[in-house]
Structure 1
Amino acid sequence: MSPAGVGNHFELLQMPVCFRLDLAELDRHYLEMQTRVHPDRSANLSDAERRLHLQWATLTNEAYQTLKQPLARARYLLKIRGVDTQEEDNTAMPTEFLLEQIDWREELQTAAGDRDACALGRLVTRLKVERNTLFETLATLLDDDHKLPAAAALVRQLAFLDKLGRDLNDALAALED
């Protein structure tokens, strides 16, 4: 079988097609697959076979990176189920969520401006709690209720929080300079 014949990332890594994954099992399946297709194992093969091994290794890495990250996994699940998250086009968000984003951004700006590592740390902790709560809701929407449009809306919200997390990490890194 060639890499083009693989149905999806879940099938490639022999995982159930769902949001709630056993990450230890995912790691195990990934390492097993990598052992089989790692380019070092193809040194004695023909050029065509080496290229095929490289394609398998690349696809395996892509699948693993997608499935191990909850937001990427949710996006991928929605994609293979025919739902576009419309992250580039659909910026409509609940008013409460947008107001909360403004508050988060103001707190980030103040803490970064004051170079207050403790305040930034508290924001990181709050953000982790908020993201975990939303990921639990997303798991229910995707795996239990199969409410895909609602899941796509939640993915868009999580993308905002993901960006906030990167900005928080940048602010913390700037304190180390």
Structure 2
Amino acid sequence: MVNYFELMNVPQHYQIDIAKLQQTLRQLQSKFHPDNNLADNNLDASVAEQDLSLSANTDAFLRESIAKLSALKPEQASAIINEAYNTLKNPDSRASHLLALKGISQSINQPIRDLDFLDDAMSFRIDLDDADGQSITLLSKKLTEWLNNYQLAFDEVYQKIDNSDAAEANDDALTKQAIDIIQKLQFLVKLQADVAKTTDELAKQNFDNDDDLYV
């Protein structure tokens, strides 16, 4: 499988520099976007290396990524770049990718069994349905803290897996703990999208109400 950390030139850790990831995305897109004349079907690895050598800001790892991508059609390279970026940008898919690189598979259909978590999630959903312009800000802050806590929890478990030998890394207890956290991260990331949608809807309502004052 493709190692997206290597492709995007970021360290293979859970906590990553998102700004660095975005910088790499821009650099790669400038070379391989289908609409970019610089990304030509006939561009081979040697040409890419020569072109990149002109840039003092392009390091060896990124040069290697571009050399590999240059063997693909621009559309294919662009699709892989976007998939890699989106995978690493999101906390749940980044965690899943780290486990996959360790040979640890997970079932996305397995339900969350933590009843306390489910109770909290249900209460949050109810509050979200009843949210107004003021309470949505508090809910967003609460969700951010919730997400941060589970990201820290996964990072701690992953470091144990990463620092273990192959046998220990596949230890059932550690693996189950990591997968359990990922399932919760997946839930919270979806919830975050719902919060963003509700925030936009409330903002639109307020804007429409303000317009009514001038009718």
1:79 and 2:100 are equivalent in the alignment: yes
> In the aligned structure 2, how far is the partner of 1:44 from the partner of 1:141?
43
RMSD: 2.4
1:14 to 9, 12, 16: 9
State which structure, 1 or 2, has the greater radius of gyration over its C-alpha atoms. Answer: 2
Give 3-state SS (helix, strand or coil) of 1:79's partner: helix
Task: Note if contact 1:85-1:155 (Cα within 8 Å) is conserved in structure 2.
Answer: no
The share of aligned pairs that are identical, in percent, is 26
Give 3-state SS (helix, strand or coil) of 2:130's partner: helix
Q: Could you say if the C-alpha distance between residues 7 and 43 of structure 1 is closer, same or farther in structure 2, counting changes exceeding 3 Å? A: closer
Q: What's the counterpart of residue 153 of structure 1?
A: 180
Q: TM-score, normalised by structure 1?
A: 0.79
> In the aligned structure 1, how far is the partner of 2:81 from the partner of 2:200?
32
2:144 to 115, 123, 128: 128
Unaligned runs of 5+ in 2: 44-69, 162-173, 206-215
> In the aligned structure 2, how far is the partner of 1:27 from the partner of 1:151?
26
Q: What's the counterpart of residue 3 of structure 1?
A: none
What amino acid maps onto 2:21 in structure 1?
Answer: L
Q: Could you say if the C-alpha distance between residues 53 and 168 of structure 1 is closer, same or farther in structure 2, counting changes exceeding 3 Å? A: closer
2:130 to 96, 105, 110: 110
> In the aligned structure 1, how far is the partner of 2:200 from the partner of 2:19?
30
2:28 to 29, 33, 46: 33
Q: Could you say if the C-alpha distance between residues 43 and 36 of structure 1 is closer, same or farther in structure 2, counting changes exceeding 3 Å? A: closer
> In the aligned structure 1, how far is the partner of 2:117 from the partner of 2:152?
17
Q: What's the counterpart of residue 118 of structure 2?
A: 98
> In the aligned structure 2, how far is the partner of 1:82 from the partner of 1:44?
34
Task: Note if contact 2:92-2:185 (Cα within 8 Å) is conserved in structure 1.
Answer: yes
Q: Could you say if the C-alpha distance between residues 110 and 44 of structure 1 is closer, same or farther in structure 2, counting changes exceeding 3 Å? A: closer
What amino acid maps onto 1:81 in structure 2?
Answer: K
What amino acid maps onto 1:110 in structure 2?
Answer: D
Structure scoring higher RCO (CA < 8 A, sep ≥ 6) equals 1
CA shift, 1:164, in A, is 2.1
Count how many residue pairs are aligned between Structure 1 and Structure 2. Answer: 164
Task: Note if contact 1:83-1:152 (Cα within 8 Å) is conserved in structure 2.
Answer: no
CA shift, 1:74, in A, is 0.9
CA shift, 1:91, in A, is 0.7
Greater helix share, 1 or 2?
1
Write the deviation string for residues 72-111 of structure 1: whole angstroms up to 9, x where unpaired.
Answer: 21122122223333222x1132121111112112222232
Task: Note if contact 2:41-2:73 (Cα within 8 Å) is conserved in structure 1.
Answer: no
Q: TM-score, normalised by structure 2?
A: 0.66
Write the deviation string for residues 29-57 of structure 1: whole angstroms up to 9, x where unpaired.
Answer: 333333333332135848xx896233222
Unaligned runs of 5+ in 1: 1-5
